[in-house]
Amino acid sequence: MPDQPIKLAIVRQKYNPAGGAERFVSRAIAALAGSVEVTLVTRRWEEHAGYRSLKVDPFYLGSVWREWSFARGVARALDGAGFDLVQSHERIACCDLYRAGDGVHREWLAQRRRQLGPLARLGLWFNPLHHYALAAEKKLFTSPRLRAVICNSQMVKDELKHWFGLPDERLRVIYSGIDAEAFSPQRARARRDAMRQQLGIAPDAAVLAYVGSGFERKGVATCLAALAAAGGETRLVVVGHDKRARRYQAQAAALGIAGRVHFVGAQKNVQDWYGMADALFLPTLYDPFPNVALEAFACGLPVLTSRKSGAAEFVREGENGFVRDALDHAGFAALIAARPKAADWAGMGEAARATILPYTPAAMAERLTGLYAELLTARR
């Protein structure tokens, strides 16, 4: 490592407290403190110790202009700024490293088309934001400046090789770190009974928790269809914000399960919601690696997820969770029906927690700083 801290610019457009990428950046900044001097290049972000911010907030109208104006503003702000390395979390070509936390847009579109009818697929094709994202993605991954891509799962690495032919030596799988002391079964379950009483749920009832924003992509419709097909008394608690939440509430009512589904909105202290549940249910259509899976594992919850979720790489079938296709609501229903009580899930908790114990923030920081040092040495 160099004698002086590495001057690192991290590019992320805005802060969403419920966003997985934002939580990764916040944790990475804290973990890198001391060895790396971090400047966050952003439109807006929650104030946090351990970094300084460089605000880039040009005027825009509409989503395409928003993305284009930010990319252009970042390029101008970084020109001559004297950073050792620029690590972008946006599809912007003026970076040394790109963290593919949002995955591959081409793959996301391919997965999304699976659940759309002909007219909806046509609408997807005509959406100018997708055309911009595809062009920006191609420009990024063919940029001569790009020296490494940080992948948060093996799945994303494989997709980048498939779609862009990037070589192994430029693709580094670095899993996110999770503080297993902050997220622990003991802390999570401290208010288990009180939380269940709040929603009128019996202590012995099986409870599945969905956590996340973006209900369409992350599979709330599949959650509801599976719960309805499973029958019984299993409850589902949906934690997260979505502007179309009423659509899913209507779906629950149409399926006859409104009394077993609780939409509680976005929650600041999500740990209590893990603690009152028995498993995390995240049949996401596409997710490079959801941080909520790490948090759930740490809290001793088995994880039910999909094949196009990076978290599937951590699942050992029947031991710490289950993996099915994102649209296989019948497959998920069978899993739910086979475990109608909270006690039926409890035996998987210890294995679930053991899954993430090696993936500490310190281990993540060590791999990141090792990569930074390697790139700087090669440059010299």
Q: Where are the domains of the chain?
A: 6-177+360-379, 185-356
Read off the pLDDT of each residue in 38-55 and give the average, rounded to a whole number: 81
Read off the pLDDT of each residue in 275-279 and give the average, rounded to a whole number: 98
Fold of the domain built from segment(s) 6-177+360-379: Rossmann fold (3.40.50)
**Parallel/antiparallel/unpaired status of strands 85-88 and 52-55:** unpaired
Indicate if the pLDDT at residue 61 is higher than 60: yes
The sign of the dihedral angle between the CA atoms of 134, 136, 137, 141 is positive
Indicate if the pLDDT at residue 244 is higher than 80: yes
Position 32 scores a pLDDT of: 74
Report in angstroms the alpha-carbon separations of 368 from 8, 86, 295, 365. 11, 13, 21, 5
Position 1 scores a pLDDT of: 43
Position 2 scores a pLDDT of: 47
Beta strands in the chain (DSSP E): 6-11, 36-42, 52-55, 85-88, 97-99, 148-151, 171-173, 207-211, 235-239, 261-265, 279-282, 303-306, 321-324
Read off the pLDDT of each residue in 218-234 and give the average, rounded to a whole number: 97
Indicate if the pLDDT at residue 155 is higher than 50: yes
| pTM of the entire predicted model | 0.91
Position 232 scores a pLDDT of: 96
Same fold, 6-177+360-379 and 185-356: yes
- The correct answer on CATH 3.40.50.2000 for the domain covering 185-356 is yes
Position 268 scores a pLDDT of: 87
Position 215 scores a pLDDT of: 96
Residue 365 exposure: Cα atoms within 13 Å on the Cβ side: 19
Residue with the bigger pLDDT between 328 and 380: it is 328
The residues with which 262 forms a beta bridge, in sequence order, are 237
